[in-house]
Structure 1
Amino acid sequence: MNRIINKWYKNHALIYKVILFLSTTFFIVYLFPKSGKFKYSFDKGKPWQSESLYAPFNFAVKKTKEELDTERRIIIENSPIYFNVNSNIKEEVLVNYKNKFNSVFVDSLTRNKLQLYAIGKSLLDDCYKYGVLDEKYDYSNDKRAILLENQVQKINIVFSQLFTLDSFKSKTEQKLISSGFSNQQAAFNTIINDILKPNVTLNKSITQKALQEELDKVSLARGSIEKGALIISKREQVEGEKYNILKSLEAEYESQIWSATNYNWVIFAYTLLVALALLMLLLFLRKYRMDVFLNNTKVTFIFFNMLLMILLTTLIINYDAKFVYVVPLCVLPLVLKAFFDARLGLFAHVLTVLLLGFIVPNSYEYMFLQIIAGIVTILTVSELYKRANLFISVGQITLIYIIAYFAFFVIHEGSISNIRVETFGMFILCGLATLFVQPLIYIYEKLFGLVSDVSLLELSDTNTKLLKELSDKAPGTFHHSLNVANLAEASANEIGANAMLVRVGALYHDIGKMKNPTYFTENQSTGINPHDELSSTESARVIINHVIDGVEIAKKYNLPDRVIDFIRTHHGTSLVYYFYSKEKEYDVSINDEDFKYPGPKPYSKETAILMMCDSVEAASKSLKEPSSTKIDAFVESIINKQMENGQFLNANITFKEIESIKKVLKNKLANIFHLRIEYPE
């Protein structure tokens, strides 16, 4: 049992990666829409590239969306509306009319009373011939209307034959004016307002039911293809009826392949492909980014971001596939480049796009656009902490999207007459969403404990609490750190390393000297040297401990691990040579390990640069009567000695880059000592 537990503990990092790999694979497969993929790829208006295609089974030729929409629109336009009619209301209205008329118009006040009465009754008879609506309805005048009395069809008319209160008033006014009774118009309107009642109401349930019955009768197909029939020949143009037949076969094929019989096999195949893609990422990390591979937090971070992009794209496709280009997929390479490097960012982006190719429509077009946009992102975005750079890069990415989409549209359609301008708007929205990468990077820094150039810029401020404390307690060390930072930044720029990272590392590399500042010569202003009272071994231990103390202080102030790496490695495993030589004068058999820094050796270009610059800057203070020749020999001597001791064996730095760094250091030191060119005598 103990052996199993120990084995588990020793391999827990690898076991975690396996669990992460499997869970991510299954989750991605779960997110994929449950529909098959047609094995042939074709585009409207382009030649059929595969061999001649024969129908593999009987299938129906489905109508296009436009055809179905047209049929449904015609049915909706021609579908009748049903109204309930109450015939008893007419008799009630006529009785009320007679009583109200006699009370308003009396013989002593009105002439031709009988004629006026007859006009009103005639108007009411016309009005209630079909009925008065209870409210205004937004139907066309020629819309067919069916009147129901006690749920039985009574009469079939057009909608314009039904009256409303306003239409009846209008007709009444016209009739009174034409009959010479315009003076009685106001009194007659009063009567109408009091007696007129609606007797026709819309029967929504029957109307909707009748419409739905007609819509259900619409056939989704307009023909069928028999098994074995030739669908399309090789190099034949995919257009018109051929295109519709192919789309029907595609839909039928996808529905059949996802039958219960084949479902498990297809899921298994999807799992294999997704697992293969994720495995390529892990192999890439193991071969080219071992430091990332060994860090489970960083591996989790990469998988999480890929999964997030797939999740967002899947949600958008499930909602409406036409919005697929709104998803800011270029956020992925931006984030990975900010925390790692461009090569890793592009590799992960390409794998993510390949996985999304399973589920997006027009997969080739989508993958081409996204991969090109990802390459542009990697090539254009530099120094992300500068806001202008991000805006410029996002503008370039958006422009690439628009140009590439325009080219694809012209290839597919052959013209620009039907180009969809709203798609360009989606690319602009995608660009605006990409700007969210700045706050996203900040969130990731807090969640995953990573560090980006934005954080490095904040740490490079010499007014930070830790650097101010360093300048107060160890002013000489602080000044030394500033000089090293300038040298290291110039060297990093020369060979294309991360200048911001190496500058921050240089500023903090000697913070451990704050614990015992007077034991370091740059802080000794009184002329008293505490080492005079210590043995060489004790002095070496104090000097070596500034690395360990620096790591402890850095952790106390929550400095990122990438910065702490500079503190650990800036002396590598070199000797404290002064005290080692001093002790060796008295004891030839001394143990070298007592005078060695604990390491590790530098394992990146940046940490190697810091080691060179730190040693050169510190030793340059001992130069007497410096000249160009002395400085050149001095720089060569120090760096060559570090190379001979194997301090750069773990760093991915070349001889050519080291020579470039030497050149920078020689020029910088010459400027510091204000040397002029030495002319020959």
Structure 2
Amino acid sequence: MKKISDQLYRNQSLVYKFFLYVATVVGILYLFPKGGQFKYEFQKGKPWQYENLLAPFDFPIHKSNDEIAIEKDKVLKTVKPYYNYNASIQPIVEAKIEEQLENYLSDTLPAVVKSKIESVVANVYKKGVVVSFAKEDAGVINLIEEGNKVKEVKTTSVFKLSQLHNFVIKTFDKEPYADYTDHIYELLMDVMEPNVSKNENFTKKAKEEALSKISYTRGTVTSGKLIIVKGEVVEGEKFNILNSLKKEYESQLWSESNYTWIVVGYVLLIALVLLMLLLFLNKYRNEIYNNNTKVTFIFMNIMLMVFLTSFAIQYNVLYIYIVPLSILPIVLKAFFDARTGLFVHVLTILILGFLVPNSFEYIFIQIMAGIVTILTVSELYKRANLFISVGQITLVYLLSYIAFYLISEGAFSSEDLWWILGFFLLNGLITVVSAQSLIYIYEKIFGLDSDVSLLELSDTNSRLLRELSEKAPGTFHHSLQVANLAEAAAIEIGANAMLVRVGALYHDIGKMNNPTFFTENQKGSINPHDELEPKESASIIIHHVIDGIALAKKNNLPDRIIDFIRTHHGTSLVYYFYKKQIDLEGEAVKEEDFRYRGAIPFSKETAILMMSDSVEAASKSLKNPTYGIIDTFVEKIINKQMDEGQFLNANITFKEIEQIKKILKQKLVNIYHLRVEYPE
């Protein structure tokens, strides 16, 4: 038992990945449709690629969504809405009119006018009074009277309060009433109330009853009947029959007898896709694979996209085009790299292919959008870049979908097309709004860092850099110079310029512990190394790397920045003090006492910093530099680093190193303001 527990403890990272893998497979499986998969793939407007298809069993022909929508619309138009007639309103209104006529208008209106008003009101309320009718209710309504008696009434015969003014003018336009129309209108406006109101409950039930009588099928295909022959174009009735067979096949396949095997099939496919992801990370992105937080982050994002797509399908299948899947490669590229982002995006789309209809069309469109995302999204700390990239992604969405639509429909003839194009535009808007916010949230939750956080770290007014400028001003100035050199070199070879710049700004923060022991911070002729043994001096110089790492961790700098501190000297030799010790003791000096502990650079960015740092620091010793001196100087320093094997672990080529040399030479020439010497 102890051996097992020890084994589990030693392999806890692997155990965690296994449980994460299983949990993700189960989670995705739960979101999958409860049905089998039709074994034939077909698209409207394209030829049938398989052998002649005969009906395997009897099945009904389902009506298309457009046909059902038209039929529902027709049925709903035949349903007469229900309205309640409230007889108790009339006596209340008549009493109010009588009171008004006696108390307020007794001297204003003649008796004949009063009599006419009472007669008109009684007649109007007998037929019914309503505020107004909705446009769809115009025509005939079912009026529910006392005792739940229902009679059909034309809406034109019911008085509408919205037309009261015109009614008064028309009814009282003759003598002796014409002079009193304003008084009559004000009176009726104050006291009249509707006694006819819509009965929403009865109307809703009537509509539901009418809709329940609609048949969603028309006709039946008998077993053995020829459905389609090889090479025949899938369109019209053939398309409807194939869709009907697909629905019936999938519903019959998902039976108790087949349930277990279908689940096994889904599990194998999902497990295979996620296994490919783990193998990719293990082989090509080992630093991600060995970090369980990063693996969890990737798996969680895949689950999130599957959940959002599944959620959209439950409401309306067209809503899948609103799901901002391009956020996945944007986020992954921001935290990792383009290749990882595209690989994860493609695998996620393959999983989603089991969820969505027209899977080939969906997979093609989303993969194209993912490729454009990877190719266009860069330097997200520049706000305009995200807008431009999302605009290009949206354009690819629109063009791809229009192309598929024209192939299947042959013309712009469906309202759904404009809805889906609108959904793609909404997709782009959601992506723009949420991408930056999501990156920030992920940084805080998972402790990751993106170019956006690097931009914040590059602020020279940040607390740590300000402290460096105060305690070690020479080192701060050196770091700024190195940052400029390294950034230019990174741009030249296509490396991450922002990462290199930030790494350069912080690479020497360890010198704050003993600033005066470093030449750039010494004032006057006093040098504290004069009072120390060469070995002690070398130890202090070497220790600034360790001090820098400790200081960076204390101030919560990202691991990617700490890597620059750790590797910027690699395993190089503190040659000045090593040579000085040899002069004192002879050849018996231990070289390891004067060598940095490493590690050596393991990326283009860390290699660039090592070269830039060494060249900038050594350039301070140049006296009367010329083009030739600078050229020889840079070549000598970098070639020595190559001979020592400092760049063996960095994925940098000889060509790129030569490009970096060229840039460093140009920048040093600019720093020393070298000009062409004119003849006297």
TM-score under structure 1 length normalisation: 0.84
1:94 corresponds to: none
Q: Which moved more, 1:531-540 or 1:499-508?
A: 531-540
2-structure distance, mates of 1:15, 1:679: 73
What does 1:20-419 correspond to in 2, within 5 Å?
20-79=20-79, 132-133=127-128, 138=133, 143=140, 145=142, 212-418=208-414
2-structure distance, mates of 1:620, 1:358: 62
1-structure distance, mates of 2:363, 2:219: 35
2-structure distance, mates of 1:62, 1:73: 18
In 1, are the aligned partners of 2:376 and 2:389 still within 8 Å (CA)? yes
In 2, are the aligned partners of 1:333 and 1:377 still within 8 Å (CA)? yes
Q: Secondary structure at the match of 2:61?
A: strand
1:650 corresponds to: 649
1-structure distance, mates of 2:170, 2:596: 111
Q: Secondary structure at the match of 2:389?
A: helix
Pairing 1:434–2:428 present: no
In 2, are the aligned partners of 1:57 and 1:228 still within 8 Å (CA)? yes
Q: 1:243 to 1:418 in 2, by over 3 A?
A: same
2-structure distance, mates of 1:132, 1:495: 87
What does 1:372-521 correspond to in 2, within 5 Å?
372-418=368-414, 420-436=417-433, 437-521=435-519
Q: 1:205 to 1:508 in 2, by over 3 A?
A: closer
Q: Secondary structure at the match of 1:231?
A: strand
Counterpart code for 1:406: I
2-structure distance, mates of 1:517, 1:394: 47
Q: 1:228 to 1:470 in 2, by over 3 A?
A: same
2-structure distance, mates of 1:503, 1:200: 77
Counterpart code for 1:463: N
Q: Secondary structure at the match of 2:46?
A: coil
Q: 1:87 to 1:325 in 2, by over 3 A?
A: closer
RMSD of aligned C-alpha atoms?
Answer: 4.2
2:104 corresponds to: none
Q: 1:164 to 1:311 in 2, by over 3 A?
A: closer
1-structure distance, mates of 2:615, 2:162: 99
In 2, are the aligned partners of 1:62 and 1:222 still within 8 Å (CA)? yes
Counterpart code for 2:597: P
2-structure distance, mates of 1:482, 1:151: 89
If you compute each CA radius of gyration, which structure gives the higher value, 1 or 2?
Answer: 1
2:555 corresponds to: 557
What are the ranges of 5 or more consecutive residues in structure 2 without an aligned counterpart? 91-109
Q: 1:236 to 1:621 in 2, by over 3 A?
A: same
Q: 1:60 to 1:369 in 2, by over 3 A?
A: same
2-structure distance, mates of 1:462, 1:369: 44
2:589 corresponds to: 590
Q: Which moved more, 1:69-78 or 1:142-151?
A: 142-151
The structural deviation recorded for 1:539 is: 1.4
Counterpart code for 1:332: L
2:628 corresponds to: 629
In 2, are the aligned partners of 1:53 and 1:231 still within 8 Å (CA)? yes
The structural deviation recorded for 1:511 is: 0.9
Q: 1:603 to 1:158 in 2, by over 3 A?
A: same
In 2, are the aligned partners of 1:133 and 1:201 still within 8 Å (CA)? no
Q: Which moved more, 1:597-606 or 1:238-247?
A: 238-247
In 2, are the aligned partners of 1:132 and 1:198 still within 8 Å (CA)? no
| Residues 438-464 of structure 1: CA deviation (Å, up to 9, x unaligned) | 222222222222222122222222222
1-structure distance, mates of 2:138, 2:447: 70
1-structure distance, mates of 2:271, 2:594: 50
| Residues 504-554 of structure 1: CA deviation (Å, up to 9, x unaligned) | 111111111111111112222131222222222211111111001111111
The structural deviation recorded for 1:590 is: 3.3
In 1, are the aligned partners of 2:130 and 2:195 still within 8 Å (CA)? no
Q: Secondary structure at the match of 2:215?
A: coil
What are the ranges of 5 or more consecutive residues in structure 1 without an aligned counterpart? 91-108
2-structure distance, mates of 1:522, 1:89: 97
Q: 1:284 to 1:165 in 2, by over 3 A?
A: closer
| Residues 280-306 of structure 1: CA deviation (Å, up to 9, x unaligned) | 222222222111221222222222222
In 1, are the aligned partners of 2:493 and 2:659 still within 8 Å (CA)? yes
Q: Secondary structure at the match of 1:384?
A: coil
Q: 1:49 to 1:616 in 2, by over 3 A?
A: same
In 2, are the aligned partners of 1:377 and 1:393 still within 8 Å (CA)? yes
| Residues 545-595 of structure 1: CA deviation (Å, up to 9, x unaligned) | 100111111122221111111110111122222222222340533333222
2-structure distance, mates of 1:235, 1:168: 68
1-structure distance, mates of 2:485, 2:165: 95
1-structure distance, mates of 2:272, 2:453: 35
Counterpart code for 1:14: L
Q: Which moved more, 1:617-626 or 1:252-261?
A: 617-626
Q: Secondary structure at the match of 1:262?
A: helix
Counterpart code for 1:660: Q
In 2, are the aligned partners of 1:132 and 1:199 still within 8 Å (CA)? no
1-structure distance, mates of 2:642, 2:426: 52
Q: Secondary structure at the match of 1:435?
A: helix
Q: 1:603 to 1:256 in 2, by over 3 A?
A: same
In 2, are the aligned partners of 1:60 and 1:225 still within 8 Å (CA)? yes
1-structure distance, mates of 2:409, 2:351: 27
TM-score under structure 2 length normalisation: 0.85
Q: Which moved more, 1:557-566 or 1:259-268?
A: 259-268
Q: Secondary structure at the match of 2:38?
A: coil
In 2, are the aligned partners of 1:292 and 1:299 still within 8 Å (CA)? yes
| Residues 251-294 of structure 1: CA deviation (Å, up to 9, x unaligned) | 11121122222222222212221222222222222222111221
Counterpart code for 1:26: V
| Residues 340-369 of structure 1: CA deviation (Å, up to 9, x unaligned) | 111111111111222212112222222222
| Residues 485-511 of structure 1: CA deviation (Å, up to 9, x unaligned) | 122112111211111111111111111
